[in-house]
Structure 1
Amino acid sequence: MKTLLFALCLSLAPLSHAVADTLHFVTEEYAPFNYIKDGKITGIAVDQVEKIAKAAGIDYTLEIMPWARAFAMAEKQPNTCVFTTGYNRERAERFVWVNPLLKDQMVLLKRKGDAHDDLTIVKARELKVGSQRGDFAVEALELIGFKDIDLASDIDITLRKLISGRIDLMPTSVKTYKKLVKDGYPVEKAMLMAGQIYGLACNKQTPQGLIKGLQAELDKLILSGEQDRIFTAYGLPPDTRTADNGTKN
């Protein structure tokens, strides 16, 4: 009986280890970085995350949901990572990071034809701005003095509000702006904002071995030129103007 029990434990040991090392990647609907197309989760960041997880030999799950829920899950649940997450000093200590999936500049958009040209921060604060609940852009706006921010659950709702005139401005990345214009949305640049780094933000209880494995594979992806090729495949070459501001943890 003892021999049988020992053999059973040995047979289950690899399975238990695999389950323990499964990473749960959560993200939002935010094209072209992470979105659903033909029933499949895809996008610039999704392609990178899947490639580096597979290259590192890490089992993973991938789920798309509202941003605020995804962000909260990564903060509270071990072995959970949320992306594509804007990095800043306040968030640096709340997660362990794998960077950069993206370097980009932020921009405030207006509805095409609206007369909000040559905006300054002071003028922009007098207008109605909208964003997504829990999004990095909300923190960025609050940091420069925006107070009454209209919050939605996802970018599609914010975009509809902008186009319908319910809000005057919405923040997003330059790459997302280019994708919106390419897709025929009637939006224009109102004002450029600061550059930003985006990456994988993982729960602090995630094993360091998994984080190091992901970071090593992301570094290889970047050095090999594969990250650039992924951007190009989605019609958005990388914007090299955004400076690296020391984001590695």
Structure 2
Amino acid sequence: MALLFKKELLVLLIFINVDSYASNENKVKTFKQDPPSIQVVSEIYPPYQVINENGDLGGLSADKVKLLFHHSSIDYQVKIYPWARAYQLALTQPNIFIFSLLRTQERESLFQWVAPLCSIEFSFYRSKKRPDIQVNSLAEAKNYLIAVQKGQASAEYLLRLGFEPKKNLSISYNADNLMQMLVYDRVELIVLSSTYFASLIESNSKYVDKIEPIFPIDYLTRNLYLASSLNTSLDLINRLNISYDELAPQFDHDCKK
């Protein structure tokens, strides 16, 4: 009986040791697995995000973002969406980075702000065939129908000031549509950035000689950022912060080069 008990005890100890080894082995494998690819979302918005002659994503902001992730040794994948969808993904999904995102008071608590990329400024634009449209204040702008891009800070800001959809505010899904709406008299004003307008001049856009800026929106003169969703890994944020501190002297934040 004693001999049988010793044999059963030995088998039990062997089983426990094997199970413990298997458990530790699984932990090692899990620890060594490469992390999933991080998703970075954006839109095409010259000159900050463009498709270059090689068919790759480039631009004043995109080049900095790629450099930051490369320097941080973070595996990532950039996906281009309409801006409203990119914004919603970064607002609701974990481990999503987004650029170029204007940093405003309304958005401050909605994202983690990783690194400034470029400064930007916005103005109201009118059709050159409508010199009668005059704006000297935001209050005067309420007298006109204005088109803005969905998901952009300009739309959020004007809504907060009391502009009303279908009354004096029209929402579009991209910047190209804004210019078409203005040129074809579907709206009276649009909101564009000065750098985007300058990129139209360089690309000989068919709209560029038909529109002009008439009033700057000072509140929207701010920095564009690389940001992330709130539930993004702090380790990723810290690694990118460290890379930014090391690379910042190389960055032209005015984005005039």
TM-score (norm 1): 0.81
The amino acid of 1:58's aligned partner reads I
Q: 1:163 to 1:221 in 2, by over 3 A?
A: farther
In the alignment, residue 136 of structure 1 is paired with which amino acid?
A
> Of 20, 23, 27, which aligns to 2:38?
23
Q: Counterparts of 2:253 and 2:108 in 1: how far apart (Å)?
A: 28
Instruction: Identify the match of residue 202 of structure 1 among 203, 212, 228.
Output: 228
**Who is 1:56 aligned against?**
72
Q: Give the equivalent residue in structure 2 for 1:94.
A: 110
Residues 122 and 219 from structure 1, CA distance in 2 versus in 1: closer, same or farther, beyond 3 angstroms? same
Letter in 2 for 1:196: R
Distance 1:118 1:131 in 2: 16
> What stretches of structure 2 of length at least 5 have no aligned partner?
1-17
Q: Secondary structure at the match of 1:29?
A: coil
Residue type of the partner of 1:197?
N
2:212 maps to: 188
CA distance 1:175–1:221, shift in 2 (3 Å): farther
Question: What is the distance in 1 between the residues matched to 2:48 and 2:203?
Answer: 15
Q: Percent identity?
A: 24
Residue 49 of structure 1: how far off its partner (Å): 0.7
Deviations 1:57-100 (A, max 9, x none): 11111010011111111111111012111112221111111131
Distance of 2:116 and 2:223 partners within structure 1: 6
Partner Cα distance (1:170, 1:13) in 2: 52
Q: Measure the CA separation in 1 of the matches of 2:56 and 2:254.
A: 17
- After superposition, the Cα gap between the structure-2 partners of 1:172 and 1:215, relative to the gap in structure 1 and judged at 3 Å, is farther
Deviations 1:151-195 (A, max 9, x none): 111112112212222222221222222222333322211111111
Aligned 8 A contact 1:28 1:34 in 2:
yes
Does 52-61 or 115-124 show the bigger shift? Answer: 115-124
CA contact (8 A) 1:106 1:196 kept: no
Q: How far is the alpha carbon of 1:215 from its aligned partner?
A: 2.3
1:14 alignment partner in structure 2: 32
Distance in 1 (CA, whole Å) between partners of 2:50 and 2:184 is: 23
- SS of 1:213's equivalent in the other structure is helix
Does the Cα contact within 8 Å between 2:47 and 2:196 map onto a contact in 1?
Answer: yes
The separation in 2 between residues aligned to 1:106 and 1:217, in whole angstroms, is: 29
- Matched residue type, 2:136: L
Q: Which has the larger radius of gyration?
A: 2
Separation (CA, whole Å) in 2 of partners of 1:215 and 1:112:
45
Query: Alignment partner for residue 160 of structure 1, among 180, 194, 197?
Result: 180
Counterpart contact for 1:105–1:193, Cα < 8 Å:
yes
- Residue in 2 aligned with 1:133? 150
2:118–2:252: 8 Å Cα contact kept in structure 1?
A: no
Q: Could you tell me how far apart the structure 1 residues matched to 2:116 and 2:105 are?
A: 15
Is 2:51 the partner of 1:36? yes
Equivalent residues of 1:47, 1:230 under 8 A apart: no
Q: Deviations over 1:169-226 (max 9, x none)?
A: 221222222222333322211111111222122111111121122123223333x2x2
How many matched pairs?
228
Distance (whole Å) between structure 1 residues aligned to residue 32 and residue 196 of structure 2: 42
Q: What SS does structure 2 have at the residue aligned with 1:63?
A: strand
Contact 1:106 1:171 (8 Å CA) reproduced:
yes
What is the root-mean-square deviation in Å for CA atoms of aligned residues? 2.5
- Kept in 1, the 8 Å contact 2:181–2:187? The answer is yes
